[in-house]
Amino acid sequence: MNRRQALAFARGILADNNIDDASLEGEILLRHALGIDRVQLYADLDRDLTPSYEKTLSKLLERRINGEPSAYITGHREFYGLDFRVDRNVLIPRPETELLVEKAIHLAENHTITRIADIGTGCGAIAVSLAVNLPEVTIYASDVSKPALAVARYNCKKNGVADRIVFLNGDMLEPLPEPVDLIIANLPYVREADLTANGTLSFEPPLALNGGEDGLDRIRFLCRQAGTKLRDNGFILLEIGQGQAEAITDLLQEIYPSSRLEVESDLAGIERAVSLRLTLSRI
């Protein structure tokens, strides 16, 4: 079997097992099995695979068919043009979360923002992406999970921003040493009942997914905490799940009645990001 045939084989196996993006995932797993990049793969598609490589590929495909996400199999996930190490201590970064990063960068470019807090940083995808794109900003990145922070610190060093991110171990906003201009958070928002219904999610840490009965427990907690940790005219930027926008905007309006609220949809048309600007007349 040569590389071309192996690629077709991997894609076919994944497609037959109803794996989304089977074409891309087949390529990713083949490249991981061979230890080569995309350019190297397509530059020599007629090169034969050794029996050892064929066996490795088969094992990787079996893991994927059994539900394990490719990011955990390969140990990597691209996010906002950067490469991140991931393992089962952290949530796998999703493409829709890039909307949160884009929004934060836009706010920083148009307002005075010198300190940002990324709450529940996980693998550090948001914090590192912001540090790379906003070199003058100090970023605090907190997480209750020490193993997750270890992964985030690795990604911070890997992407050359170790001098711009301060990592904090603790629950939500509690470890923040000072008020900030922007609080950004992709907190757990999956309903507890939905965790067992989705087999793929079973591989990811429940702590990073479980949002309680309606998915909003942790987000509500952060919203109520935020007022004491934001500077005047500061911002809150939250990722939410499908159908959660009304509940969160109602809550924020109740807590901060004079604030300015916006909801933005992702590329799939799902209301995904809620932003709030805290005005001087806050309560």
- Largest CA-CA distance found in the chain, in angstroms, rounded: 70
Lowest mean pLDDT among 28-32, 48-52, 129-133, 206-210: 206-210
Helices 22-34 + 51-65 axis angle, to 10:
140
What stretches of the chain show up as alpha helix (H) in DSSP?
3-16, 22-34, 38-43, 51-65, 70-74, 98-110, 125-133, 146-158, 192-197, 217-225, 245-255
CATH number of 79-83+89-277: 3.40.50.150
Domain boundaries, the chain: 3-66, 79-83+89-277
Say whether 49 sits in a helix, a strand or coil. coil
Q: In whole angstroms, what is the distance from residue 111 CA to residue 113 CA?
A: 6
Q: HEC string of 207-227?
A: HHCECCCCCCHHHHHHHHHHH
Q: What is the pLDDT of residues 36-88, one digit of tens each?
A: 999 999 999 999 999 999 999 999 999 999 999 999 999 999 999 999 999 99
In sequence order, the β-bridge partners of residue 236 are 183, 276
Among 93-107, 122-136, 199-213, name the one with the lowest average pLDDT: 199-213
What percentage of the chain has pLDDT greater than the value 70?
Answer: 96
Decide if pLDDT at 199 tops 70: no
Q: Please, are residues 121 and 143 in contact by the beta-carbon 8 Å criterion?
A: yes
Q: Measured between alpha carbons, how far is 90 from 69 in angstroms, rounded to an integer?
A: 12
Characterize the bridge pairing of strands 271-277 and 260-265: antiparallel
Is residue 211 within 8 A of residue 188, CB to CB? The reply is yes
- pLDDT for 57 equals 97
Question: How does pLDDT run across 108-158, given as a tens digit for each residue?
Answer: 999 999 999 999 999 999 999 999 999 999 999 999 999 999 999 999 999
pLDDT at 283: 39
Tell whether the model's pLDDT for residue 282 goes beyond 60: no
- Close Cβ partners of 193 (under 8 Å, ≥ 6 residues apart): 213
